[in-house]
Amino acid sequence: MAGVHGLRGVLKVRADAASATTDPEVIAALGEVEIGGRSYRVTSASRQKGQVLLRLEGVQTRDQAEALIGQEVSGEVARFPLLPEGEYYWFQVLGLPVINGADGVLLGHLREIIATPAHDVYVVRRGEEELLLPAVEEVITDINLEEGWIKVAPPPGLLEAYAH
């Protein structure tokens, strides 16, 4: 929870690297969220300046909203709406092993996703090594949630640029 908006208990939610979504429609579709070990019914969710404005049942004053600042907002996994084929929530792919599709070599694990205006960037780490991959179809060639892996086709020269 990033802060409050106005005097009537509206909460500002900011995305971070572990966020499942910042789509207000998805958050509203969850129906309820958990904050600080307590469930709240979502009455509305909208976007404003890269944040989600969230109204919750039982949070009607600025003081009530301020008491929730700094706490994580979570939703039950089973409540998340299904996504179209080829789309994934961040929580589904974070932590998965990333494999070079050309030779089967493990490049590391997806540890972070950086949202940019053009496309997301996958941060793949193996030990202290870090590899940045654009999350575009030409590079992220296959994601298998059932088996738990991501196959990639790094652009020519990228792996060599990261080699020591």
Read off the pLDDT of residues 104-160 as tens digits, 9 standing for 90 and up: 999 999 998 888 888 889 999 988 889 999 999 999 999 999 999 999 999 888 777
Domain span including residue 25: 3-79
Looking at the fold, whether 71 and 28 belong to one and the same domain comes out as: yes
Residue 100 in domain: yes
Residue 15 in domain: yes
The DSSP bridge partners found for residue 12 are: 3, 53
The whole model's pTM is what?
0.69
Read off the pLDDT of residues 22-71 as tens digits, 9 standing for 90 and up: 677 888 888 888 888 899 999 988 888 777 888 999 999 989 888 888 88
Domain of residue 26, CATH code: 2.40.30.60
Domain of residue 111, CATH code: 2.30.30.240
Looking at the fold, whether 125 and 58 belong to one and the same domain comes out as: no
C-alpha closest to that of 164 among 129, 123, 133? 129
Looking at the fold, whether 60 and 120 belong to one and the same domain comes out as: no
* Number of domains observed in the structure of the chain: 2
